[in-house]
A and B are shown apart, each in its own frame.
Chain A
């Protein structure tokens, strides 16, 4: 049975730039919102998985040319994307995941309609979607707890971006090198 094996990259999109305006739809956070919450703010709704896929494909094409584009074309898929938590799970074929990872690292802006400067951080590389999802949930929980601990009284809605107070429910937690470990796996798709 010859199966194509994949790698699932769990990815965070962070926004460290204080000058991001995003064509007017992005409000400046109030001054007492701690940096750590600002960095993990939600992504505008205009951003969706199609744009993210475009970002990855363009990045790979720029860095690795036609070869790279060809190699990942068949298997690249955005499995999950949540603008509220600025998290995504991207599927790549196992042999070429580093190319996609490098393209994500080199990305500096979200694509045109959104046009925000950002930093993309790959947080986990997993052989199965399930593990990637579990990790995403775990991180979301931790970051809520963390944000609640930091600023229980501050208004965490970042001046009105997304009335949902998802400002806090973002993933985090690289308190240790523990989870930033790669390759969860040569335990490839056990569920198939």
Chain B
């Protein structure tokens, strides 16, 4: 499984199909199409990338990614909104302050991608990078600009990449192409070799195009779809048209380990006076269950369930 998480996307790109097929030929199975934004965020944040393109190999997975160049300071809330519309959110810091922000302050960021073809005025620090990696963020090295750029771009890329690899101790690094055309793409093992020449050992290099990418994607998905990254309901066992009250009672039953389900339903329907504490407990349980069901996307009801379960 090889991942290429940075293929620039632009609307009306006639070569996209070719590029994607070529990447598939080279061996990549999951590709993220990258939409770049910079400066002030537009008010409409919906993702313009279509992931269902015709004539693509069937085992190629497409993801949608957004890269935001951090020129202004952005609030985390807006970024969180932006993140919801894409599968991956990347930022491009331009100086040390924005790098610091990206690594520590901004939590909805998944990927930190610097432009490594320019001379960076600062050094990478072990601590900062380690903190970001601990929070689940990854650093990206993009190689295409060095292939087709001039000698300076190449030199800068090599120097910055080596520095990044050293400061991150090889963990938390992801390598991707940023290939605008198919000619700039390279096979995964070729990329691993390049990283090896730049200082990233063979195993880590392999991880950089496979395992790390996967953990990044899965982590991003969990951030968006699961309840606090712990519970991700795949199938909530929803029943289609169920009356509101009954559903709640069933929810109670699910959370109450002691009693049998049927008994509980029967009991609850002629439930006599319920103590305040019991009531509170039941409400809480109903809320929890509803949250789980909502999180799984089966929110046809979408109703608040803070009603008192009394007859």
Contact = CB atoms under 8 A, between A and B. Distances in A.
A114 B193 CA distance: 27
Nearest to B193: A101
B22 A39 contact: yes
B25 A182 contact: no
A16 B197 contact: no
A98 B18 contact: no
A121 B157 CA distance: 21
Contacts of B216: none
B25 A36 contact: yes
Contacts of B172: none
Interface in B173-201: 181-183, 185-191, 193-194, 196-197
Nearest to B22: A16
Interface string B141-183: 0000011100000100000000000000000000000000111
Given A36-B21, A102-B197, A108-B148, A17 B183 contact: yes
Contacts of A172: 25
A119 B185 contact: yes
A121 B190 contact: yes
A1 interface: no
A17 B182 contact: yes
Nearest to B185: A119
B296 interface: no
A112 B183 CA distance: 18
Nearest to B143: A105
A98 B196 contact: yes
Contacts of A102: 193-194, 197
Interface string B191-232: 101101100001000000000000000000000000000000
A108 B183 contact: yes
Contacts of A123: 187
Interface residues of A, number: 26
A35 B23 CA distance: 11
A14 B194 contact: no
A35 B18 contact: yes
Interface in B26-78: 26-27
- Interface size class for chain B? 20 to 34
A35 B183 contact: no
A39 B202 CA distance: 28
B159 to A, nearest CB: 13
A85 interface: no
B2 interface: yes
Q: B154, B193, B196 — which one has the most chain A CB atoms within 10 A of its CB?
A: B193
A72 to B, nearest CB: 14
A154 B169 CA distance: 51
A147 to B, nearest CB: 12
Contacts of B15: 18
Given A16-B182, A17-B181, A119-B183, A105 B194 contact: yes
Interface string A169-180: 000101001001
B151 to A, nearest CB: 8
A28 B202 CA distance: 39
A35 B21 contact: yes
Given A105-B193, A180-B189, A182-B189, A16 B27 contact: no
Contacts of B188: 180
Contacts of B189: 122, 180, 182
Given A174-B26, A174-B187, A122 B193 contact: yes
A186 to B, nearest CB: 14
- Which 3 A-B pairs have CB atoms at the shortest separation, nearest pair first? A16-B182, A174-B27, A121-B187
Given A16-B182, A39-B22, 10 more contacts: A35-B17, A98-B197, A99-B197, A104-B190, A105-B193, A105-B194, A106-B147, A119-B22, A121-B190, A177-B1
Interface of B: 1-2, 15, 17-19, 21-22, 25-27, 146-148, 154, 181-183, 185-191, 193-194, 196-197, 202
19 contacts: A14-B26, A16-B183, A16-B185, A17-B182, A18-B18, A35-B21, A101-B193, A102-B194, A105-B194, A108-B147, A119-B26, A119-B185, A172-B25, A174-B26, A177-B2, A177-B27, A180-B187, A180-B188, A180-B189
